Chains A and B, each alone.
Chain A
Amino acid sequence: MLRFFLKKALLAIATLFTVSVVTFGLFFAVPNNPAELMCGNRKTCSADQQASIERRMGLDRPVVVQYADFMAGIVKGRTFGEGDAARECPAPCLGYSFRNDEPVTDIIGRTLPVTLSIVFGAAVVWLLIGVSVGMVSALRKGTIFDRGAVGLSLTGASMPILLFGPLLLIVLVYETGLLAYPSYVPLTENPGKWAAAMLLPWLALGFINSASYARLARAQMLETLSEDFVRTARAKGMTKIRVYGRHALRAAITPIVTIAGLDLGTYLGGTVVTETIFGFTGLGKASLNAAINLDMPLVMATVLLAALFIVVANLVVDVLYSVIDPRVRLS
């Protein structure tokens, strides 16, 4: 058991390392003039500014040394430049955004809670709706409810957020005025306002994803219901609720947990489209803005962070898998 996890964890670290090398290479080794890219606005970037950035970032040194500096900065922080122009970047330092004149970690600290709020809330919505609709649909197979659910989830799975998000805005905000156009309030400040602001992105992202979860839950549940242990439990006289709600659900939910974990990992890296539609500045939107402004240190940090989320989600799913389903054999 422990060996299995250690092996997985080592593999995850190796993957992250490779991602960081590839990304670093893309930013620092491929471009002819990284300083120009780091500058913020290529059109207005003067030669002086470029020289200053080059000196402060140490871009004139070999790429390998730069990479080592970058990695060391994550552990113990670093200082860019000297004298008056020096910029402090405390550990964990993921780089310095010269365009915003602040460490990248500060920007991430500001925007990550927004993305976390959107993703976890939406996950609750899609898991609740998806799993319950899929389960009821499987138990009432062939009924009107089942057919309706199947048809709806089939169409819902094709619904692009580019249509559904604006549609929610039109219906709930501009035409009926039921909700106000959202603006982010931190959870620690005012939980009520936080939830009110998050409602639209939760609904948008949650509904769209619940379609594919309903399909998955239905298929899994149907498969489980035809298994012997379900019939045995029913034959012993166990109540329907106990059999379906506990025994069958537990067996059916394993693949759902897997997919949900991987989806969470992907979404944590940024729900850019959702954030853009509803006007939130989360991690994805910050990364997009940085990309458009060519604020490359920030983009690079967000790529690494998003990769970290994906790799960790994979690891967590592997662990959960064997906890939920004891039949899973570790190899």
Chain B
Amino acid sequence: MTDGSVGPAGLAVAPPGEPGPESAVTGSGAAVVGRSPGQLAWLRLRRDRTAWVSGGALVFFALVAITAPLIERLYGKGPLDRFTDKLDRNGNPLGYLGGMSGEHWLGVQPRWGRDIFIQIVYGLRTSLMVALTAALLTIVLGVVIGIVAGYLGGKVDAFLSWLTDLTLAFPFYIFCFAFVPIAVAQAYGPTEQEAPWFRPMLLIVVFVLFNWTYSARLVRGQVLTLREREFVEAARASGAGTRHVLFRQLLPNLWAPILVTFSLNVPALITAEAALSFLGIGILEPTPDLGRLISDSVTYIRDDPAFTLTGGITLFALVLAFNLFGDSLRDALDPKADR
């Protein structure tokens, strides 16, 4: 995470002419300004070039995902429209690079004849929707379990820690292979058609069930040190109930690690969702999805490598943007952390 703009103390070095956070500390000439930790973190983040670039990319991806129907209207092609006239007799796209042209920006899907650009636009929407929802629910569950375990201690803590270890002993992907088909078989008969919302919801449930462990451990560790502090004692002495201490006194002190964990959890979930869909366990036709798009493209990798790469590079860019932003966020919130 080191780049040119980072000073020895891990704080962003202010460009000349602009008062940096150091001037607040060292007071070199300027008046001493008091800043809250949140303001300091925001200052550091604003001076981090990586944060700007990755944050910009994230905003772009989010906008694309949100405005997908608008893009479809402007672009004039839907994700399920087929353009078989753009394929040759063997079902391969005409032209270079998988049929990229002014009309089909990223080419045409072999055999199906679908437009790849609009598929990716809608695929981003699926990916982000599943990953963000799952990450949000994961962090809520993890934080609640972690706070309760850390604060109450004793038997509750022992049980919850054991539950964490147990969850970690389940092989995630292979357990998904077992869980998803059984859940589908339970909900639908052999010949029934699955509802389009069922798979995404199922994936979210599986992700939440298996990913809360990390944040729970982290929060538990933090709470273990916090609960001995005076402000907790003071709150309890003035008659505050357990719930008040947990969520009004302790939780506000945990925002920094929670935020960082959340932002690094999203890319991991995007990858997992893509992998499951790639393997045929995740999102199904006709919902557009990045993982399934890559899975389709691998079949034609020999004749149409550009198709494989467009899907893969989109996934890579999305994951990279989230990871870089998460790293920057961690650096800004905790400048002394290992890098």
Which of B170, B267, B320 gathers the greatest number of chain A CB atoms within 10 Å? B170
Residue pair A170, B185 in contact (C-beta under 8 Å) = no
Q: Which of A11-19, A70-78, A185-193 contacts its partner?
A: A11-19
Q: Which DSSP category, helix, strand, loop or mixed, fits chain A's interface?
A: helix
A284 within 8 Å of B by Cβ?
yes
Min CB distance B279 to A, Å, is 6
Residue pair A299, B171 in contact (C-beta under 8 Å) = no
- Given known contacts A31-B185, A32-B186, A174-B301, is B169 in contact with A284 (CB within 8 Å)? no
Docked complex: B184-219 residues within 8 A CB-CB of A? 185-186, 190-191
Residue pair A273, B323 in contact (C-beta under 8 Å) = no
Docked complex: A259-314 residues within 8 A CB-CB of B? 266, 269-270, 272-273, 276-277, 284, 287-288, 290-292, 294, 296, 299-300, 302-303, 306-307, 309-311, 314
Residue pair B339, A19 in contact (C-beta under 8 Å) = no
CA distance A158 to B279 in the complex (A): 20
B305 within 8 Å of A by Cβ?
yes
CA distance A294 to B319 in the complex (A): 32
Min CB distance B331 to A, Å, is 12
Contacts of A157 in B (CB 8 A): 323
Docked complex: B281-333 residues within 8 A CB-CB of A? 281, 291, 294, 297-298, 301-302, 305, 308-309, 311-313, 315-316, 319-320, 323-324, 327
Residues of chain B having any CB pair with chain A under 8 Å? 1-2, 165-166, 168-171, 173-175, 177-182, 185-186, 190-191, 267, 271, 274-275, 278-281, 291, 294, 297-298, 301-302, 305, 308-309, 311-313, 315-316, 319-320, 323-324, 327, 338-339
Min CB distance A192 to B, Å, is 26
Residue pair B308, A26 in contact (C-beta under 8 Å) = no
Q: Which one of B169, B305, B338 lies within 8 Å of A310 (CB-CB)?
A: B169
Residue pair A163, B177 in contact (C-beta under 8 Å) = no
Residue pair A219, B305 in contact (C-beta under 8 Å) = no
Residue pair A288, B279 in contact (C-beta under 8 Å) = yes
Min CB distance A280 to B, Å, is 14
Which chain A residue lies CB-closest to B175?
A: A303
Q: Which one of B178, B301, B339 lies within 8 Å of A299 (CB-CB)?
A: B178
CA distance A159 to B319 in the complex (A): 8
Residue pair A154, B278 in contact (C-beta under 8 Å) = no
CA distance A26 to B181 in the complex (A): 11
Min CB distance B30 to A, Å, is 30
Min CB distance B97 to A, Å, is 13
Min CB distance A262 to B, Å, is 9
Residue pair B302, A174 in contact (C-beta under 8 Å) = yes
Q: Which one of A154, A269, A303, A311 lies within 8 Å of B327 (CB-CB)?
A: A154
Contacts of B166 in A (CB 8 A): 15, 18-19
- Given known contacts A166-B294, A273-B279, is B170 in contact with A307 (CB within 8 Å)? yes
A155 within 8 Å of B by Cβ?
yes
Residue pair B309, A167 in contact (C-beta under 8 Å) = yes
A145-162: CB near B (< 8 Å → 1, else 0) gives 001001000110111111
Q: Which one of B177, B271, B313 lies within 8 Å of A288 (CB-CB)?
A: B177
Q: Which one of B169, B297, B302, B312 lies within 8 Å of A16 (CB-CB)?
A: B169
A28-72: CB near B (< 8 Å → 1, else 0) gives 001110001100001101000000000000000000000000000
Q: Which one of B178, B294, B309 lies within 8 Å of A23 (CB-CB)?
A: B178
Q: Which one of B165, B182, B185 lies within 8 Å of A15 (CB-CB)?
A: B165
Residue pair B182, A27 in contact (C-beta under 8 Å) = yes
CA distance A146 to B327 in the complex (A): 18
CA distance A284 to B168 in the complex (A): 18
Contacts of A16 in B (CB 8 A): 169
Contacts of A288 in B (CB 8 A): 177, 279-281
Residues of chain A having any CB pair with chain B under 8 Å? 11, 15-16, 18-19, 22-23, 26-27, 30-32, 36-37, 42-43, 45, 147, 150, 154-155, 157-164, 166-167, 169-170, 174-175, 219, 223, 266, 269-270, 272-273, 276-277, 284, 287-288, 290-292, 294, 296, 299-300, 302-303, 306-307, 309-311, 314
Contacts of B2 in A (CB 8 A): 147, 150
CA distance A166 to B280 in the complex (A): 17
CA distance A8 to B323 in the complex (A): 35
Residue pair A31, B313 in contact (C-beta under 8 Å) = no
Contacts of B279 in A (CB 8 A): 272-273, 276, 288
Min CB distance A148 to B, Å, is 12
Contacts of A292 in B (CB 8 A): 181, 280-281
Residue pair B301, A169 in contact (C-beta under 8 Å) = yes
Contacts of A159 in B (CB 8 A): 316
Contacts of A272 in B (CB 8 A): 173-174, 275, 279
Contacts of A314 in B (CB 8 A): 169
Contacts of A175 in B (CB 8 A): 305
CA distance A294 to B182 in the complex (A): 8
Give me 26 A-to-B residue pairs in the complex whose CB atoms sit less than 8 angstroms apart, sorted by A's number: A16-B169, A18-B166, A36-B185, A36-B190, A43-B190, A154-B1, A154-B327, A158-B320, A159-B316, A160-B274, A160-B275, A160-B319, A162-B274, A162-B312, A162-B315, A166-B312, A174-B305, A175-B305, A219-B339, A270-B173, A272-B174, A272-B275, A272-B279, A276-B278, A296-B182, A307-B170
